[in-house]
Chains A and B, each alone.
Chain A
Amino acid sequence: DTGVSQNPRHKITKRGQNVTFRCDPISEHNRLYWYRQTLGQGPEFLTYFQNEAQLEKSRLLSDRFSAERPKGSFSTLEIQRTEQGDSAMYLCASEQGYTEAFFGQGTRLTVV
């Protein structure tokens, strides 16, 4: 499968713990996005990378959130000191240029 891959698919964590998610984009895609989606809502933009450079972060992204894309390949999204409000589906998407974004199946985070 050469689509966008996200791991893990599901994560249950206790409040206050740190979690890290991984996204492997389609290999030739230079742009990578992270979105958050809660039930009954459309995705909300979190951040995006062009190659290894993080070009923009949403104001939704507090200091507890950090994302990296070393070498312009896979990306990680880390949430420190998780809160119950962080429970959501975290989506990764990639695209080449400004064509169409291809989405992974997401990582569902539940903070208990």
Chain B
Amino acid sequence: AQSVAQPEDQVNVAEGNPLTVKCTYSVSGNPYLFWYVQYPNRGLQFLLKYITGDNLVKGSYGFEAEFNKSQTSFHLKKPSALVSDSALYFCAVTPQSNYQLIWGAGTKLIIKP
């Protein structure tokens, strides 16, 4: 079965430190990969996506993600965390065959001042 795993329910980072939120997937073929963020009482917001090309993708709010095909991973990163980055982050994958998003369970990111 196709799936997306976010192995950490919660990630705690001190403000100013780099952050990584992990995502691995099990999807056949060459999927499209996405990160979304969800703030309390707000809808899911698109951060970035990987379709093809350079394995390092840059997105909104200073976030970037690195695609690793051999490890089937798409980890989200930011060089210097802000308190305002605290939110729920979702990794999603869509097989090119049907373009339906398959979602991870989400990782709660807490940035402490």
A35 to B104 Cα, complex, angstroms: 14
How many A-B residue contacts, CB cutoff 8 Å?
47
Q: CA of A88 to CA of B51 in the docked complex: distance in angstroms?
A: 31
Interface string of A30-44 (1 = CB under 8 A from B): 000101000011111
B106 and A106 within 8 A (CB) = no
- Docked Cα-Cα span, A33 to B98, in Å, equals 13
Give the B-binding residues of A (Cβ under 8 A): 3-4, 33, 35, 40-45, 48, 56, 91, 93, 98, 100-106
Q: Which of chain A's residues have a CB closer than 8 A to the CB of B101?
A: 33, 35, 43, 45, 101
How many residues belonging to B are interface residues under a CB distance threshold of 8 Å? 22
* In contact, B46 and A98 (Cβ under 8 angstroms): no
Instruction: Name the A residues within 8 Å of B44 (CB-CB).
Output: 43, 91, 93, 103
By the criterion CB–CB under 8 Å, are A103 and B105 in contact? no
Pair B46/A41 contact, Cβ less than 8 Å: no
